[in-house]
Amino acid sequence: MAADGLRHEFKVVVVTGVPGVGKTTVLSELAKIAESRGVKIKVSNFGTYMLETALKEGIVDDRDKIRTLPLRKQLELQRLAAQAIVRDAARELGSDGVLIVDTHALVKTSAGYWPGLPRHVLDELKPDMIAVIEASPEEIAARQARDRSRYRADMGGVEGVRRLLEEARTASIASAVHYASTVAFIENREGKASEAAMQLLQLIEKL
């Protein structure tokens, strides 16, 4: 137990970003660069863990149904998912390892913006860093429009995205106060995901 209950042995970096910002690409670049530099990382997708938990408990039978569950049910899954992520990381990572948690700081739901890093999740993750992958609202909205099958929720076009980006920044800082996490804003320019990944890795190495 490091830093008196405030940290895990391994480092925990939560990587957030609004849908369409290119987070998945940045994270797959990160995995490659980390390997080539001998940095031991494990990337865990929060949504996947929520789904697996829900399947195990017989609550849903496919991923899309998670989002249609009442938020109170999702709340329970959130905590269980966070616990499972930490448990798995503890088995695989030592004090030189880095757990990357792929998730959101704020999720647009039909009942309003929903914090992706509320206190009961932070109590499990105890993040060293909350990274916020960003891009221009125009680029993000264009990417969402291009791939409708993937980004089903209506994000309200450029203005809706701009607003979500702003509120997600606020949410990241508000979440960071709970465990003294650093907050890093990383610009993911079109076609430059490996640069964003490199910048993220350099920040992680400073932790």
* CB-nearer residue toward a second copy: 145 or 173: 173
Please tell me whether residue 153 binds a second copy under the rule CB under 8 A.
no
- Using CB under 8 A, which of 145, 147, 173, 189 touches a second copy? 173
The whole-angstrom distance between residue 47's C-alpha and the CA centroid of its chain comes to: 9
Contact region for a second copy (CB under 8 A) — 16-24, 46-54, 66-74, 139-147? 66-74
Q: What are the backbone dihedrals phi and psi of residue 111, each rounded to the nearest 5 degrees, phi first?
A: -110, 20
* CB-nearer residue toward a second copy: 73 or 192: 73
Contact region for a second copy (CB under 8 A) — 30-38, 54-62, 140-148, 181-189? 181-189
Please tell me whether residue 10 binds a second copy under the rule CB under 8 A.
no
Please tell me whether residue 187 binds a second copy under the rule CB under 8 A.
no
Asked if 200 and 17 touch (Cβ cutoff 8 Å), the reply is: no
Please tell me whether residue 152 binds a second copy under the rule CB under 8 A.
no
Please tell me whether residue 93 binds a second copy under the rule CB under 8 A.
no
- Using CB under 8 A, which of 40, 56, 65, 120 touches a second copy? 120
- Using CB under 8 A, which of 48, 147, 159, 170 touches a second copy? 170
* DSSP-assigned states of every residue in the chain: -BGGGTB-SSEEEEEE--TTS-HHHHHHHHHHHHHHTT--EEEEEHHHHHHHHHHHTTS-SSGGGGGGS-HHHHHHHHHHHHHHHHHHHHHH--TT-EEEEE--SEEEETTEEEESS-HHHHHHH--SEEEEEE--HHHHHHHHHHTTTT--S---HHHHHHHHHHHHHHHHHHHHHHHT-EEEEEE--TT-HHHHHHHHHHHHHT-
* CB-nearer residue toward a second copy: 78 or 144: 78
Restricting to residues 94-113, name those near a second copy by CB under 8 A.
Answer: 106, 109-113
**Interface with a second copy (CB under 8 A):** 2-4, 6-7, 70-73, 75-76, 78-79, 106, 109-115, 117-121, 128-129, 131, 167, 169-171, 173-185, 203-204, 206-207
